[in-house]
Amino acid sequence: MSAMTRELFFFLRLRSGIAALALLLLLGLGGVASGLLETQRQHDAIARMQPLQASDVSAISAWVSRSGDPGNAAYYTFHATWNPPSDLAFAALGLGDVAPSILRVRALGLEAQLYEGDIVNPEVAMPGRFDFAFVLIYVAPLFVILLLHDLFSAEREAGRLGVLRSTPQATARLWAPRIAVRLAGLLVALALPFLLGAFIAGTPGWKTVAVLGLIAAYLAFWALLSLAVARLGTTSIGNGMTLAALWLVLALVAPSLAHVAINTAVPLRQGAELSLLQRNAVHRAWDIPKTATMDPFFQSHPEWAGTAPVTAPFHWKWYFAFHQVGDESVATLAQQYRDGILERSRLAERLGLILPTVGVQLALHRLAETDPRAQLAYQDRIRAFHKRLRTFYYPYIFNELPFGMEDFDKAPRYAPETKQP
């Protein structure tokens, strides 16, 4: 323990080291603060939306209920879905910027609504956000390098290395405590801001522990790399350059090269394609016999096959049927599109097994539920909700029941899934 106290004492007198840790702590606090502000903005937008949505529906119900036409109710009423940021989203904002956290849908074809985006300033999204994930993944390694690259070479340059090496049990009594003190300092400088943020955001214990584990593991990786270079290299400046170059490759060059490679290997044209096809399939209904729409619809929805046949050029049941048939006609493409996004994620995850920078980035965003998988899960919840909407309106439309003021209150309400481990 005395060796530990001595090294701690040494380190506390090393002004540059303390300054570095203070700076890292400050950056960490900044990242956590801006992450918390951003998630608060997302929560606020969701809270602001609720009364607006209610007023919009009541304005529609005011005139629709006069005639009681269920088709008008289903056609004009938008229903809100939302995806509140998770209790860890502050640490890794991820897709929170370009993927919408609010989407309104109608009982019409979903494939024409599901991929809509919110209002985003791409110039803000481009440089990336200043969140805790950024401080950990990009900035922290530079501080590890700063504190460890000259561990041995500084002593050599001061002419003390030979003496220190000949001390019995040098590793246990000198180097290990010195490394431990510096790493502990880095760990504290990163963990403190995170714990503060986790406390404010109400992050559950297991997630907090998992993130602390990621921080420790990531620091350990950079520490080992730095020590290996420090051991092999001779001059402080040479070690510093080698490590900075490694950082450049691991944190910037390799991931961005892999990004272009993955997107080239898994081209995704299905999104645009399915939009074109779905639109054609939906509108073709006006030019073909009614049975050509109703028969496939009854096949997937046999419960309505017994209702009165459509004879007039227009009937709402036919109208909503062709929207559904349009969705069904592109179901394969929609699945392929979803699979393509997953495949890109999977390839990135495989890269994460080799590159710790990528691995930690992905793990952190997975825990924070701000990655593409989380976005797809939200889309799945919207799909399920859309199905509930259709099931709600169909009885009114197919049985030609009047849709009154009180029926608007019976419409299904979206409930964001309570987040589960």
Tell me which residues in 73-132 interact with another protein (CB under 8 A): 78, 80, 94-95, 98-100, 102, 104, 112, 115-130
Quick one: which of 5, 18, 26, 41 contacts another protein (CB under 8 A)? Answer: 41
At residue 108, what are phi and psi to the nearest 5 degrees? -80, -175
Answer whether 233's CB lies under 8 Å from 239's CB: yes
Measure CA 380 to chain center: 15
- What distance in Å separates the CA atoms of residue 172 and residue 222, rounded to the nearest whole number? 21
In angstroms, the CA 248 to CA 246 distance is 5
CB of 129 to another protein, least distance (A): 6
The interface with another protein within residues 378-417 (CB under 8 A) comprises none
| Binding range to another protein, per CB under 8 A, among 176-184, 255-263, 292-300, 382-390 | 255-263
Q: x-or-dash pattern for another protein, window 202-241, by CB under 8 A?
A: ----------------------------------xx--xx
Tokens 């099931």, located at residue: 391
Sign of CA dihedral 125, 131, 134, 139: positive
* Interacting residues of 338 by C-beta distance below 8 A, sequence separation 6+: 376, 379
Binding segment toward another protein, per CB under 8 A, in 29-37, 198-206, 322-330, 407-415: 29-37
Cβ at position 237, least distance to another protein in Å: 5
Contacts of 325 (CB under 8 A, 6+ apart): 281, 285, 293, 296, 297
To another protein, the closest distance from the beta carbon of 407 in angstroms equals 18
Stretch that binds another protein, among 159-167, 189-197, 369-377, 413-421 (CB under 8 A): 369-377
- Applying CB under 8 A, which part among 172-180, 296-304, 320-328, 348-356 lies near another protein? 348-356
Rounded-to-integer distance, Cα 370 and Cα 362, Å: 10
- Give the closest residue to 226 by CA, choosing from 146, 171, 158, 172: 146
Three-state DSSP state, 104: strand
Task: Tell me whether residue 63 or residue 206 sits nearer to another protein (CB atom).
Answer: 63
Q: Which of 3, 8, 45, 192 binds another protein (CB under 8 A)?
A: 45
Hey, which residues between 266 and 285 contact another protein (CB under 8 A)?
267-269, 271-273, 275-276, 279-280, 283
* Cβ atoms of 80 and 359 closer than 8 Å: no
Q: Which of 52, 305, 384, 401 binds another protein (CB under 8 A)?
A: 52
Task: Give strand ranges (E) for 83-186.
Answer: 102-105
Minimum CB distance to another protein, residue 80 (Å) = 7
Q: Which residue has the tokens 């009681």?
A: 68
CA distance 365 to 345: 12
Q: Residue 367's closest CA among 138, 210, 205, 190?
A: 210
Question: Using an 8 Å Cβ cutoff, are 398 and 70 in contact?
Answer: no
Determine which residue in the list 261, 308, 331, 401 makes contact with another protein, applying CB under 8 A: 261
Between 236 and 307, name the residue whose CB sits nearer to another protein: 236
Q: Detail the DSSP E strand segments found in 51-193.
A: 79-82, 102-105
Q: Which of 22, 26, 47, 59 is the binder for another protein (CB under 8 A)?
A: 59
Within residues 127-166, the interface with another protein by CB under 8 A covers 127-130, 134, 138-139, 142, 146, 150
Among 14, 22, 37, 47, binds another protein (CB under 8 A): 37
Nearer to another protein, 191 or 251 (CB): 251
Closest to another protein by CB, 102 or 227 = 102
Six-digit token string for 31: 């990242």
Residue 361 in contact with another protein, rule: CB under 8 A: yes
